[in-house]
Amino acid sequence: MKKNKIICTLIFSSFVLLFGLKASEVSAHQFTNYYGIQMTNDEYFTLLNLGFTDDEIYYMDVDTFNDNKNLDSELIAQTNKYYKIVTPMYGTNYVTEVSQSEALNQSQNQILGQVTTYYLNEISTISANGSKYRYKDTISWLTIPDDKNYDIIAIGFINSVYIDSLVYYKHTYADSSGAWHNSTLYYDKKSTSLGGSVVYKLPDPFYGLSAMIYFDVSKNTTDTLTSIAMCGDYAHSNANLTQYQAANHVINSGGIQLDSSVYSYYDDIPCAYATALVNW
């Protein structure tokens, strides 16, 4: 476990330094990402306004880029949360929100021989996307969990809106050599009246990983909406289970609701709520 954390930290730190150099090119005429995709300033900032993080843009594949680069967009809400999953030597796991400082300096917060902690960053965004709004959620592992099973990423909302697009999903991960890969492989996908979710399996091993889910919503009422809200949510499996067991959940405005048959198999991350004032 220590070795994995060290490798992950080195890769993450190298990536931050590398991206810092690449991002400076945005002030010029174009930016080139990890896969050689050249983006203009306008395209780059369009992606930011759609809620894509710097990391996601740097590792973006050509299909995602082409699908989003020309959209009329404006980022209107963003929530950035850091969570710690604690595995005590005795007792049950628990999850707590922590500061950015603690999450990014996690090596100072290990109580060796007593507990193991894993850190996760979650960012939920709402963007104006033409006549629709886009809900998006991104998670990034800041330390590598020991358990690599079927995790769930989801977005929930109330029924004043409905999903008016495909439910898009992707995870990006680094292998032992430091090479990064994109994957859209999933084992269950839900699109319901109160949200969307995806079950995917964590690669084993991996040395850095982020996952995202997003979709567009339209209004589901004739009333004027003055605010809209979404819950970006994540559930990490801490025990072996099947893809069919992982599908035993529903989504609503409170996020992922796990069936009682699988509840004990998961570390249930709190919702990262994003709310925006609108006149819709």
CA torsion sign for 145, 147, 149, 154 is negative
Alpha carbon distance, N-terminus to C-terminus of the chain: 49
| pLDDT value for 114 | 62
Report the distance separating Cα 206 and Cα 144, nearest Å.
8
What are the pLDDT digits (tens) for 87-140? 888 878 999 999 999 999 875 455 555 678 899 999 999 999 999 999 999 999
pLDDT tens-digit series, residues 233-244: 999 999 999 999
Q: What is the structure's pLDDT at 29?
A: 59
Q: How far is CA 132 from CA 38, 47, 201, 241, 276, in A?
A: 27, 16, 31, 37, 13
Checking if the pLDDT of 17 tops 60, the result is no
Q: For residues 11 and 175, give the distance between their C-alpha atoms in angstroms, rounded to a whole number.
A: 10
Q: What is the reported pLDDT for 89? A: 80
Whole-number Å distance between alpha carbons of 223 and 130 = 19
Mean pLDDT of the region 21-49: 80
Rounded mean pLDDT, 214-221: 97
* Number of residues that make up the chain: 280
- Residue 4's pLDDT band (cuts 50, 70, 90): very low
What are the chain's domains?
2-73 (no CATH), 77-277 (2.60.40.740)
Average pLDDT over residues 142-159: 96
> Around Cβ 191, how many Cβ atoms within 10 Å?
15
The torsion defined by the Cα of 75, 79, 84 and 85, in degrees rounded to 10, comes to -80
Q: Please tell me the predicted confidence (pLDDT) of residue 264.
A: 95
φ/ψ of residue 12, rounded to 5: -65, -45
| Two structure tokens written together for 165 | 């697009």
- Secondary structure (3-state) at 4: helix
Which residues, at least 6 apart from 67, have a Cβ–Cβ distance to it below 8 Å? none
pLDDT at 85 over 80: yes
Q: What is the pLDDT of residue 238?
A: 94
Q: Which two tokens stand for residue 200?
A: 């995917």
Whether residue 5 has pLDDT greater than 60:
no
Q: How confident is the model at residue 254 (pLDDT cuts 50, 70, 90)?
A: very high
Of the candidates 142, 203, 192, the one whose C-alpha atom is nearest the C-alpha of residue 162 is 192
- Give me the phi and psi of 244, to 5 degrees please: -70, -35
